[in-house]
Amino acid sequence: MMTGARGLTAPAPMEEKMLKTTRTLMTAALVIAATASTGALAALRTSVTVDGQDIYATDLFTDVAVGKDRLVARSPEPGKTLTLDAGTLRRVAAATGVDWKPTTGFELAEVTRASTHLGASDIVRMLQPELLSQLGGNDIDVRLDDPGAGIDMPSLAAPDVKLQDLRVTSTSGRFSARLRAPADGGVQYVDVTGQAFPIQVVPVLIERKLKGQEISASDLAFQQMPVGRLPDNAISDADQLIGMAARRTINPGQPVVSSAVGLPIVITRGDLVTMRYKLGGLVLSARGKAMEEGGVGDVIEVSNTDSKRVLQAVIAGPQLVEVYAGTNVASN
């Protein structure tokens, strides 16, 4: 032991160390006690998704004491996001006894309302059957004016969307439609516009056919084409092409019109033919010369080799034509 000038005894080094340790422990105990009295520090949830129509303090902060939770705000529309700034968050924390304060003043919480989303492709699928029934065709291509069109419904509601109204212009395919969908406590109406292109499946040639060449099943493929681009006399049934012959050059991949095909040529220009006359029960025959070519069923001009009269006759088969009384057109 050492005695100071005033007779006081200075603590030994070991005792001094023990005193420091005791002070440290006491300080820590005070901090713990203070923290326990005010509650643990809460954490802010900066990105939140809610299902219902309301936002509560427990959606924004952790460690909200039991009985302290309270309504903060109405949630946004389904699919939308509401941003709460630092000042709003500080007031919510103070009102609910949450130990949280902004440190920079720029803290934000983004609250998104969960939704059931009906996108443009879903809307198109809804419209297709009704548009097809009104415009015809085998299928239909529907395009919305707004490709980003959609409907957001409350996630807790049944996604019961109905077509409320549809108006179509048959000549252009332009349409307007109104859809009815669930909303918070009621319904919402969504209007969409667009254009529909009816599609017809038609047989087309795989390779070019020249005049006189016959068409078989292996020469054909099937292709979807907008009805508005099809000629009025386009052939839609493959059976109407199989066994026929090209009357002129037909290009591949294009709709085939009825006038471009006919039965295979059985009589060519200059052929000598038998002209058969039917008058009541009387049948007469004469020789003639074909002035045109054609297939069975075609009407061609034939010159009578004896009288040199030109008559119209129907091709009945190879080198055979029929001339009917009252239908002849003669010339010198």
Q: What is the pLDDT of residue 96?
A: 92
Whether the per-residue pLDDT at 267 is higher than 90: the answer is yes
Where in the sequence of the chain do the CATH 3.90.1210.10 domains occur?
200-262
CATH of domain 200-262: 3.90.1210.10
Residue 243's region, left for phi above 0, alpha for psi from -120 to 50, else beta, is left
Q: What single-letter amino acid sits at 314?
A: V
pLDDT tens-digit profile of 85-137?
A: 999 999 999 999 999 999 999 999 999 999 999 999 999 999 999 999 999 88
What is the dotted CATH code of the domain comprising 265-324?
Answer: 2.30.30.760
Provide the mean pLDDT of the chain. Answer: 87
What's the whole-model pTM score? Answer: 0.56
- pLDDT above 50 (res 39): no
The span from the CA of 96 to the CA of 98, in Å, is 5
Contact by Cβ (8 Å): 332, 308 = yes
330 phi, psi to nearest 5 deg = -110, 150
Instruction: Compute the C-alpha angle 41/42/48, nearest 5°.
Output: 165
pLDDT of 150 higher than 70:
yes
Report, in angstroms and rounded to the nearest whole number, the Rg of the chain calculated over CA atoms.
46
Beta-carbon neighbour count of residue 30 at 10 Å? 10
- Locate CATH 2.30.30.760 in the chain: 265-324
User: Residues near 159 by Cβ (< 8 Å), separated by ≥ 6?
Assistant: 116, 118, 153, 181, 182
Rounded percentage of the chain residues whose pLDDT exceeds 90:
69
Summarised one tens digit per residue, pLDDT across range 11-25 is: 555 566 565 555 554
Q: Taking a C-beta distance cutoff of 8 angstroms, is the pair 96, 40 a contact?
A: no
- The three-state secondary structure class of 176 is strand
